[in-house]
Homo-oligomer: A and B are copies of this chain.
Amino acid sequence: MGAAQETLGEEQPWAEVSPDAARRLLVAAVGAFAERGYHATTTRDIAGRAGMSPAALYIHYKTKEELLHRISRLGHDKALTILRTAADSDGTAAERLSAAVRSFVRWHAGHHTTARVVQYELDALGEEHRTEIVALRRQSDAAVREIINDGVRAGEFDVPDVPGTTLAVLSLCIDVARWFNVAGRRTPDEVGALYADLVLRMVGASPQK
């Protein structure tokens, strides 16, 4: 022991957050917000989980709301990147839609505590921060809609109402964060595969092999 070494008991997200104390606080906040909701979480809860005194929080973050914003921002960035990566890859529209849903859902299931905060605590943000986040969400919407439009144009999909179906697809994927339970029987991979199949059916893609 002795050499610099990451503690990788489980996957370590939030690696981009530094310094260390700020990350510990952020991780603690994600856990607390996901479990009890933003408004039911106190700054003492967060600090306690991070093993610090309540005042320590305000060295790294100006307010409790800024913490939520940082989490929301990073989470939306990650989710959008995942969607975009799949959307911009090569392949048929069906392949891209399938990949997008699979990876998007896998993230929401695998990081369901983060995702829960990111997707369901939006109204707790202040006016300014909320509009920033809403803009990110519109980009997610656009990414999915583009794939579906491509599929319709190529004759791969049969979709009478593209905006409505886009909305439904995203809604379906996002809501995974609400019900997914680690204690449940499904792995994030399995849910991703199931949902990719369901979504291909929703857009009327010709039954894939």
**Of all chain B residues, which has the CB nearest A163?**
B185
**Of all chain B residues, which has the CB nearest A184?**
B167
Please state the number of chain copies in the assembly: 2
From B176, B186, B204, contact of A201 by CB (8 A) = B204
- The answer to whether the Cβ of A37 comes within 8 Å of any Cβ in the partner chain is yes
From B123, B168, B175, contact of A194 by CB (8 A) = B168
Interface mask (A150-176 → B, CB under 8 Å = 1, otherwise 0)? 000000000011001101100110111
Interface residues of A in 171-204 (CB under 8 A from B): 171-172, 174-176, 178-179, 186, 191, 194-195, 197-198, 201-202, 204
- The answer to whether the Cβ of A40 comes within 8 Å of any Cβ in the partner chain is yes
Report whether over half of chain A's contact residues are helix, strand or loop; otherwise say mixed: helix
Q: B-contacting residues of A (Cβ < 8 Å)?
A: 36-37, 39-40, 120, 123-124, 160-161, 164-165, 167-168, 171-172, 174-176, 178-179, 186, 191, 194-195, 197-198, 201-202, 204
* A36-B123, A164-B191, A201-B204 given; 8 more Cβ-contact pairs under 8 Å: A37-B37, A37-B39, A37-B124, A171-B176, A172-B172, A175-B178, A201-B201, A202-B202
